[in-house]
Amino acid sequence: MKLYFREKVKPFMKKPHFGFLVVGLLLVVLRLLVNVLPPDIYGAIVTTAYYYLAGLGFALLLGYGGLASLGTGAFVGIGAFSLHFVFRYLAMPLTVAILAGIILAILVSIAFGFVSLRISGMYLAIVTMGLSQIVIEVIRNIPQYASGTTGGFLSGPMARPLEFLGMRLNSNSAVLFTAVFVVAGMMIVHNLIHSSTGRALLSIKNSDTAAQTMGINLLKYRLFAFVISGVYGTMAGILSMLFVRNGNVSQIGITFALNILAAVVIGGTKSVWGIMLGTFVIFGLDLAVFQRFGLGNYSLIINGVLIILVVMFYPGGLIQLFGDLKRFINKQILKVKEHIYGTE
């Protein structure tokens, strides 16, 4: 009733968490529209959604940890390929496969984290690029993936249909999974940013000596940032495998990591919505618009130019641009109003 709405719902709507729920609901609605939308647009939206998850994790690492790690691709690969391997070749149930992927991700991110302690700022990007290359090579060396691709889930003599809690999953159910994980992912990152953990990360980024003076354990928080980023990336990989049903090693290399970097930088490293905007611009537009019209190369050029322009002139990203634009437009509207109606 009206009272309940006023008392409980209205305050909740003011919180940013409400926005996150709306996003989740939109994705669920998307699932219902699967037969209405053209398949490549549908696919583009879902792909953007789970790439957004990888971008969120990366943004936490970059924007709050100050650690430019190019390892995102490796983690997506770990998620996708370990899920596939454990499910298909080790014949474990789906939940076990997902857990295996997450545990592996945690271990590898801890390794990345330890490496990051010895290597500072600039070189970190290079070393993580190298580490991610190693991960990709390791995946390639597993005999089943020597060709660099996985087979589809539902093809081949060893195939097993996907089941979760007894229910049969098809590719489109992956959208529901995605919705759940995207909403949870957004909430967790938002909560972390607005908590002492997020502030501790920021203080390490600004000055690790001052942070230590205030009692912040560098190792612990570095590892934390890497683990979160790694798990998010792995979830993206798992979701991609659930949706696309096959994987290609070449898709998760340096180019992917650079694209995620582009998405985060262009959208706005510090804002959950900014990253969504960035992911949409980089991946969504590319998949839904450019690829359709065979303009893939143009999209690459535009992305690259955007990165350079944003990073040089608008470090806050497009979301900052939108904010400034909004203020500018409001100001202009006020000016016009004043012109017509005078000041009284």
Give the distance, in angstroms, between the CA of residue 75 and the centroid of all CA atoms in the same chain.
11
Report the helix count and the strand count for the chain, using DSSP H and E.
16, 2
Spatial distance between the Cα atoms of 14 and 12, rounded to a whole number of angstroms: 5
Spatial distance between the Cα atoms of 226 and 60, rounded to a whole number of angstroms: 9
Q: How far is the CB of 194 from another protein (least distance, A)?
A: 8
By three-state DSSP, how is residue 90 classified? coil
Q: How far is the CB of 165 from another protein (least distance, A)?
A: 24
By three-state DSSP, how is residue 166 classified? coil
Binding residues among 52-111 for another protein as defined by CB under 8 A: 66, 68
- Interface with another protein includes 214 (CB under 8 A)? yes
Residues 6 or more apart from 18 whose CB is under 8 A from it?
Answer: 12
Residue choice 131, 252, 318, 319 for contact with another protein (CB under 8 A): 131
In one-letter notation, the amino acid at residue 19 is G
| Closest to another protein by CB, 100 or 138 | 138
| Closest to another protein by CB, 133 or 171 | 133
| Closest to another protein by CB, 31 or 205 | 205
- Interface with another protein includes 35 (CB under 8 A)? no
Q: How far is the CB of 134 from another protein (least distance, A)?
A: 5
Token pair, residue 243, equals 């949706």
Interface map 246-265 toward another protein (x if CB under 8 A): --------xx--xx-xx--x
Spatial distance between the Cα atoms of 285 and 45, rounded to a whole number of angstroms: 9
Element (H, E) at 283: none
Q: How far is the CB of 91 from another protein (least distance, A)?
A: 26
Q: Are 144 and 85 in contact (CB under 8 A)?
A: yes
Binding residues among 220-239 for another protein as defined by CB under 8 A: 224
Binding residues among 160-189 for another protein as defined by CB under 8 A: 188
- Interface with another protein includes 18 (CB under 8 A)? no
Q: How far is the CB of 217 from another protein (least distance, A)?
A: 5
**68: DSSP letter:** -
- Interface with another protein includes 308 (CB under 8 A)? yes
Spatial distance between the Cα atoms of 330 and 342, rounded to a whole number of angstroms: 17
Residue choice 144, 155, 195, 332 for contact with another protein (CB under 8 A): 195
Binding residues among 109-128 for another protein as defined by CB under 8 A: 115, 118-123, 125-127
- Interface with another protein includes 142 (CB under 8 A)? no
Binding residues among 278-297 for another protein as defined by CB under 8 A: 296-297
Give the distance, in angstroms, between the CA of residue 290 and the centroid of all CA atoms in the same chain.
21
φ/ψ bin of 245: left (φ > 0), alpha (ψ from -120 to 50), beta (otherwise): left
Q: How far is the CB of 3 from another protein (least distance, A)?
A: 6
Residue choice 300, 316, 320, 323 for contact with another protein (CB under 8 A): 300
CB count within 10 Å of CB 338 equals 10
- Interface with another protein includes 3 (CB under 8 A)? yes
Binding residues among 312-341 for another protein as defined by CB under 8 A: 312, 315, 339-341
Spatial distance between the Cα atoms of 321 and 268, rounded to a whole number of angstroms: 9
Q: How far is the CB of 131 from another protein (least distance, A)?
A: 7
Handedness of CA 314, 317, 322, 323 (dihedral sign): negative
| Closest to another protein by CB, 28 or 300 | 300
Q: What does each C-alpha distance from 164 to 29, 77, 87, 96, 135 come to in angstroms?
A: 21, 22, 12, 10, 28
Q: How far is the CB of 344 from another protein (least distance, A)?
A: 6
- Interface with another protein includes 206 (CB under 8 A)? yes
Spatial distance between the Cα atoms of 317 and 32, rounded to a whole number of angstroms: 33
Count of positions on this chain that bind another protein (CB under 8 A) = 79
| Closest to another protein by CB, 120 or 155 | 120
